[in-house]
Structure 1
Amino acid sequence: MTAAGDADLTALRRRDIGFVFQSFHLIRSLTAEQNVALPLRLAGARPSTKDVRAVLAAVGLDERRRHRPRELSGGQQQRVAIARAMVTRPRVLFADEPTGALDSTAARNVLGLLRELVTGGQSIVMVTHDPAAAASAESVVFLRDGRIVDHATAPTAREVADRLARLEA
């Protein structure tokens, strides 16, 4: 339990935490640029066009900023979702199966983008069942029934798959 009230917790989430979901949760009627600016607008801020375009450029979509989600591929939609999470400059970005709905090429691109963010100083906590996605992390924590049961530093996809198989046995 926390002593913080709802308003304080909401402010904390808006300021310090970014979320990237497996389902992109983009607003279909908004452009990529408007979807990225949305968290700032919801927080009562006036989004800077320069900042929104910079974050879209960082995910390789500046030229697609006026496109609506239906005009973007799955990988591009996920990159818009990542840009939306990044625009508030959160301390930590939580990614829930960020490659789960993507084909293998788009998944590799998204994992590469997440790796670039980490290299640039962004902290990312990713939940995944995909050994290849897990192998892109510096550190992997294995859970079973909500408890930590193993840990690996810079594992290969094969090592992750083997540990998962042992956990299932």
Structure 2
Amino acid sequence: MAMASCKRERIDVLTMQLRTVTRGMDVIFHGTRYPRQILMQDTLLYSRSGYQAVFFTRSLQVASYWALLERDDDEQDGAVLVFDRPRLRARYRLVPFHDPIWDTPQKLNDEAEELVWGRNIERMHSYLLGAVWSRRPNGERAGNHFSSAGTCVMGISSNG
């Protein structure tokens, strides 16, 4: 129970950070435990198993959850990548999606997802506004996020 509570608190903190830096913006999110690899490749690769797509969400909480979901081979720190939704939509077809696997008989659990089917998101920097990095359980920040000047990690500008 304490572990679930700690995880919930971490999701809440990351969600508040996201809300602060994206308020009023038309954005879409991608939560990941592999942010450095994605940023270095400048490409979001579509999944080659299951649903063959790149997954985005409009939900701050869902993006935070995926950024904090630990995996055996992850980079230790997660991040939520924040994308300019209109610019991304101009180049790629964003398709609304609902995966019923998360539903229960009592409740529809909508992750507010939008997918790009069967294509990588290349030249990702053209659509990326920034990244909000998770904090480690001891409160230490794992990385940088949007600065007051509107820039973020890797020198990517939110000014286009």
TM class by smaller structure: under 0.3
Higher helix share: 1
Q: Which has the higher contact order (CA 8 A, sep 6+)?
A: 2
Q: Which structure has the bigger radius of gyration?
A: 1
- Normalising by the residue count of structure 2, what TM-score does the alignment of the two structures yield? 0.25
Higher strand share: 2
